[in-house]
Each structure stands twice: as structure tokens, then as C-alpha cells.
């Protein structure tokens, strides 16, 4: 395993949002961990930008319908996967590299009775252990920023999609070249690498034989969302430290502060892409 892969794995192993912390908060708030449905987790497990509305945006663009099979690339703790399975009646396979996140996601799936609808697969999105043409949609949220070979991940999405299936994802995008010290900061603190521009992603999608249906610039909305998330993370750090659970390191908080500034300045931002396999 390369040092860079180890760095990405370590980033999420020490991330302040973990299954252990989610379960502890759920038990503290409800006083019990029995008779829980998936909706009881939605306040706690949506570790991505925009919350449930962002999930719905992906679902609408992917044309999700009951019974469909969906792959979630870099699925983390499975929050979006559980939401989509519960609300839209789809079956979701979450592909996640970090074994701690896979174990945590499976623990949460079992806790809320979703093991029949959400399955976590430990693996690399650039080499997915799934058959050709086996899913109706592939989704991902703010996670491909950690993947060093995005073109290969997009090709894998195309391979496992059935004809007529859609890839819908959001990710960081670069609007202007970052200073070397900012590139280093984003890597050291948040494990971000090989960041693409919106035109760059469109080109990568075309190279992977997708037809690009929609490209959206989310930067203005993210400037607000990320500032709010940073305040949440700072509060969460004190809470997780007190509880003796992973709380992130200094590099994460330093880089996140810089991330907020870069997005507010329009150097970095977000994009959402919808692409069709013909």
C-alpha cells in the first residue's frame, strides 16, 4: 500500500464523525438503542455538504425508482446510502476503502434494520469488485477528491452501469490554480489530491464514454455550507475529545479553515455532474 493511500485511510480513521460517536449521541439523545428506524440516524449520519436535500438532488438526477440497484462510490459511514434506500426503495452497495468506515457503516445498518437494503463493500473505486452492467446508477458525494486517479474511477463507474444508467456525483472543483502551499495544506489536512476543474471533469467524463447531461456550479452554496460545517467541527472536536473518541488532528482544522477561505474567495468550490451511459 502506498504512503498516499495510507494517508487517505488515516484521515478517515481519525475523523471526528465516526460510528462510535454517532451511536453515543443517539443513545444520549434517545436513551435507548432499540426499535430504531433509518430515519432516526438522519440527524447524525449525513457527513456531506447539503444534508438530505443534497441526497434528493442526486436521486432526482439519477432518476431513482424502487427496486433499482445503486453503487455509492466512497460511501463512508453509509448515511446517504441508508437515506436513499429508505426513501426511494433502492438497493445500495457502498464501495469504501477504509475498513473502519465499512465496519461502522455495517454496524449502523444493523442498528436500524437496513442490512437487506444496504451492503458495504470494502474496496477501491478505481478497481471495483462488481460485475459489468450490474447497477442502474452510481452516485458519490464530495469524496472523489481523495482519489488519485479520477479518470479510472469514472471508467469503473461506466463499466458497472447498465446501458441507460446514470452517474451523478458532487466533488471539489478548482476555479483558479492553487498556490503550492494551499495544495500542500489540502493534502496534509484533508487528503485532497488531483483536484479537477469543472471543464476538466467534463472532459474526463467524455473520455470515459459518458454523455454529460448536466454540470452545476455549487460554489456559492458551499461557501455558506462549509463555514457552517467548520463551526460544527470545532464544537464536535471538544465533544469527541471529552468522550475519548477520534476528533481529527490540528492539520485537519488548519486546512479546513483555509478551505473555507478558498471557497469564499472563489478559488475552490463545488460541482455536481450528471452523466449518462448510452
Q: 41-60: per-residue pLDDT in tens? A: 999 999 899 999 999 999 99
Mean pLDDT value across residues 122-142: 98
Q: Which three cell numbers stand for residue 35?
A: 426499535
Mean pLDDT value across residues 97-111: 97
Structural domains for the chain: 3-175+191-220+270-276 (3.40.50.150)
pTM for the whole thing?
0.95
pLDDT tens, position by position, 105-121 = 999 999 999 999 999 99
For residue 86, CA distances in Å to 38, 39, 41, 80, 113 come to: 7, 8, 11, 10, 10
Tell which residue, 215, 199, 198, 219, has the closest CA to residue 266.
Answer: 219
Whether 215 shows a pLDDT value over 90: the answer reads yes
- Contact of 157 with 150, CB cutoff 8 Å: no
Tell which residue, 72, 45, 69, 44, has the closest CA to residue 58.
Answer: 72
Q: Which three cell numbers stand for residue 164?
A: 441507460
Q: How many CB atoms lie within 10 A of CB 251?
A: 15
Amino acid at each position: 500500500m502506498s504512503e498516499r493511500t495510507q494517508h487517505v485511510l488515516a484521515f478517515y480513521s481519525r475523523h471526528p464523525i465516526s460510528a462510535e460517536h454517532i451511536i453515543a449521541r443517539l443513545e444520549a439523545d434517545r436513551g435507548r438503542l432499540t426499535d430504531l428506524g433509518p430515519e432516526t440516524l438522519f440527524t447524525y449520519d449525513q457527513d456531506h455538504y447539503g444534508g438530505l436535500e443534497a441526497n434528493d438532488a442526486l436521486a432526482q438526477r439519477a432518476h431513482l425508482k424502487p427496486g433499482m440497484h445503486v453503487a455509492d462510490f466512497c460511501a463512508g459511514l453509509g448515511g446517504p446510502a441508508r437515506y436513499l434506500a429508505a426513501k426511494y426503495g433502492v438497493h445500495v452497495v457502498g464501495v469504501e476503502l477504509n475498513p473502519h468506515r465499512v465496519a461502522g457503516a455495517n454496524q449502523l445498518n444493523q442498528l436500524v434494520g437496513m442490512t437487506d437494503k444496504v451492503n458495504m463493500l470494502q474496496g477501491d473505486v478505481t478497481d471495483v469488485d462488481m460485475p459489468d452492467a450490474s447497477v442502474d446508477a452510481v452516485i458519490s458525494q464530495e469524496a472523489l477528491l481523495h482519489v488519485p486517479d479520477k479518470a479510472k474511477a469514472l471508467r469503473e463507474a461506466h463499466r458497472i452501469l447498465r446501458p441507460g444508467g446514470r452517474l451523478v456525483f458532487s466533488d471539489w472543483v478548482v476555479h483558479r490554480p492553487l498556490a503550492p502551499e494551499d495544495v500542500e495544506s489540502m493534502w496534509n489536512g484533508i487528503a485532497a489530491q488531483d483536484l479537477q476543474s469543472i471543464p476538466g471533469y467534463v472532459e474526463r467524463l467524455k473520455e470515459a464514454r459518458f454523455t454529460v447531461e448536466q454540470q452545476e456550479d455549487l460554489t456559492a452554496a458551499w461557501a455558506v455550507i462549509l463555514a457552517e460545517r467548520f463551526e460544527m467541527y470545532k464544537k464536535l472536536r471538544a465533544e469527541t475529545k471529552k468522550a475519548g473518541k477520534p476528533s481529527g488532528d490540528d492539520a485537519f482544522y488548519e486546512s479546513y479553515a483555509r478551505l473555507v477561505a478558498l471557497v469564499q474567495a472563489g478559488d475552490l468550490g463545488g460541482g455536481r455532474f450528471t452523466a449518462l451511459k448510452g
